[in-house]
Structure formats: C-alpha cells, structure tokens
Structure 1
C-alpha cells in the first residue's frame, strides 16, 4: 500500500512538474480560448499587453546578458540569458491585470450571468501566478533575483497597460466590438 501511494504521488508530482514546465503553452491556450469565447476588444488589448511585456523583457535580457543558473540535469540548460525571467514578468502581468479588470471593468456580455467570476478568477489566477514564478527557481531555470526582477516588471507594466485601456480603449473598444466584430 505504501508503494502504491508513492507511485501515485510520484505520478502526480511528475504531472505537476510537466504542467509547470509547459506554462507557456497552457497560458497561451487559455488566452486564445478566452479571445475566441468573448470576442472582446478588451481581452485582445490585455493579450497585446502580455506580448509587449514579454518583448520588453527579451530586450532587457540582451542588455543585462546575465546567464541562467547551471541546470543540474544534463541537456536541460537553457541557452538564452536569464535576467529578468520572462515567465515571471508575463504571469505577474496576467495576475495584476486580472485583479484590476475584476475590480474596475464592467462585466463583458459573455459573462453577464457570472458576476462570481470577479471574485473567483483572481482567487485562482494569483496563486497560480505565484506558483509559476516560484517554479522558475525550483525548476532551475532562474535565480531568485531574476524571478524577482521579472515579477516586478510585470507589476509595473500591468497597471500602465490597464490605464491605457481605461483612458482610450474602453470607448474605442466598445465601438470596435459593435462595428467590426460581427461573429
């Protein structure tokens, strides 16, 4: 019985580790599904912000040129630079922007009957984002400072990008949805 429990725990741990390794695919797929489901200009704006956040971090990596930590497993060493962590930057952007959207944006027509999402979505996204950021250290892809700088970058970009939507996108986004997104 003890061996069976160990095997299940090992399988669960392996699945969790693979899930954390593939967060890029998971987050991209969930974002694409959300765009297709809502057909919302606000979600497209949010997604473009995540891409901008990622691209800025990639430029920063070329400036800092700080190597990643040496990975303990052979063949698992990533070849690009590590400072700052792109995963940490983008996932913190997702978490902060989602919190701001839940607090300040009107509920999209796709979710009219689901006001509970304003509370539940951040309760899922924030712990998930924190787990992903910490996993970058645990998986041996980044150092603590690389993750912290990446996380801080997302914390700065998200409110700035959200402010752009509040100032300009809310008005023009509704117009674009009404006029051009006839799906």
Structure 2
C-alpha cells in the first residue's frame, strides 16, 4: 500500500535560514498581507462597517483571484530555491504577495489624497508613506527568502498598482453612486453599514462628536 503524499497549508508557512536575523525579520514582513486580511479588514468590518473599507477588501480579493488565474495560465516556475522551501508545486509569476501589497499601497494612498478619512497634507504624506515602505519590504522579502525571482515580484507589483488604481476609479467614480442605496437597504440598516466618504477628517469628526456626547451626558448628570 502506497503512502499518500501530504501537503502543508502554506498560509503562514514562511521559511528562513536558522540564525539569519534579517531573514527572520523579512519572514514576518512576508506575513503582512495575512495580518492585513485577517486582522485589519475583519476588525474593520466588525467595528467600523464602512463601505469604503468593504469595497477596498473586495478589490483585494478580486486582485488575488486574478493573480491565481494568471499564475495557472502562465505556469512559470519559482526559483531553484523552491526545493528547500517545498514550494515547487506552485507557480511564481506574478508574485501574489507583491501584488497584494502594491494594490493595498496605491488604493490606500489614493484614499488619503482624495481626502477620505484624513485631512492635512502633512498627515497624508506621513500616513501614505507607510504602506509603500511595507510594500517594498514585502517585495524584497520574497526575493531574499527565495520564493520569487526579481522579475516575478516586479510583475506582481506592477499588476497590483494597475489593479489598485483601476479598482479605486471603479469604486469612487461608479459604485459610490450606489452607496446611499446600500446604506438604506434592509441589510445595510441591519448591519449598520455606513459611508463616511463625504467627511473630510473622520477621526476629528468622531472625536468632536464623542466629546459633545460626553459633555451632554455630564450636563444631564449634573442636573439630575
């Protein structure tokens, strides 16, 4: 009786050379797309219910689906180091990690510069700089750890930028017209789904409203 071949789930299966501190750091960097998906967007939906965030996450899912279709169509092998990484049974072009992070970076930057959620040029520059730094680190990590070639990560980055910009245009030029209808729908009301795109600085808006509500409560308690 032959023993069946076993395959590991590779969602967080990132390898680096023992004792390589840079490799250890870059292995964690390589997991950032997982943290964004599971920690960022799930918690965003649970606590925020913003339509911009929901369609942002939907765009990333579409981007990753396109990545898988292209990989299966092109079927370009990973570099020779795939033997050590046990990844030779999967395809490498284009890099899904690079595509994910550059889609995230360009969409997030466009949101900031459109004025959705954050006001002030200095704030926009500071916050907008972070995702691009992380995207570049992620791209570098995939080459350094041996999962992709340079051409594969650049292909992923280019595709991510193109799809991120395209999806931003689709959402904020076409689909945004349907946001009020989604808010007013039965499901929208039931799940408290909302759109704050029209508010220039959501953080300050919520801060001011929270303070006003607290002052109103304090006045009520004082009169009682």
TM-score bin (small chain)? 0.7 to 0.9
Superposition deviation, residue 12 in structure 1: 6.0
TM-score, normalization by structure 2 = 0.67
Helix, strand or coil: the match of 1:147? helix
Instruction: In structure 2, list runs of 5 or more residues that go unmatched.
Output: 1-18, 194-224
Helix, strand or coil: the match of 1:42? helix
For the aligned residue pairs, the C-alpha RMSD in angstroms reads 2.6
**Residue in structure 1 matching 2:36, options 12, 22, 27:** 27
C-alpha contact (below 8 Å) 1:42/1:173 kept by paired residues: no
Asked whether 1:17 is paired with 2:26, we answer yes
TM-score, normalization by structure 1 = 0.80
The aligned residue for residue 5 of structure 1 is none
Residues in 2 aligned to 1:118 and 1:178: alpha-carbon distance in whole angstroms: 31
Instruction: In structure 1, list runs of 5 or more residues that go unmatched.
Output: 1-9
For residues 24 and 59 of structure 1, do their structure 2 counterparts lie closer, same or farther at Cα, with a shift above 3 Å needed?
same
**Residue in structure 2 matching 1:64, options 67, 74, 85:** 74
For residues 63 and 170 of structure 1, do their structure 2 counterparts lie closer, same or farther at Cα, with a shift above 3 Å needed?
same
Residues in 1 aligned to 2:23 and 2:164: alpha-carbon distance in whole angstroms: 32
Superposition deviation, residue 26 in structure 1: 1.3
Helix, strand or coil: the match of 2:62? helix
C-alpha contact (below 8 Å) 2:33/2:101 kept by paired residues: no
The aligned residue for residue 142 of structure 1 is 148
Matched positions, count: 169
- The structure that is helix-richer by fraction is 1
Superposition deviation, residue 137 in structure 1: 0.5
Residues in 2 aligned to 1:55 and 1:117: alpha-carbon distance in whole angstroms: 33
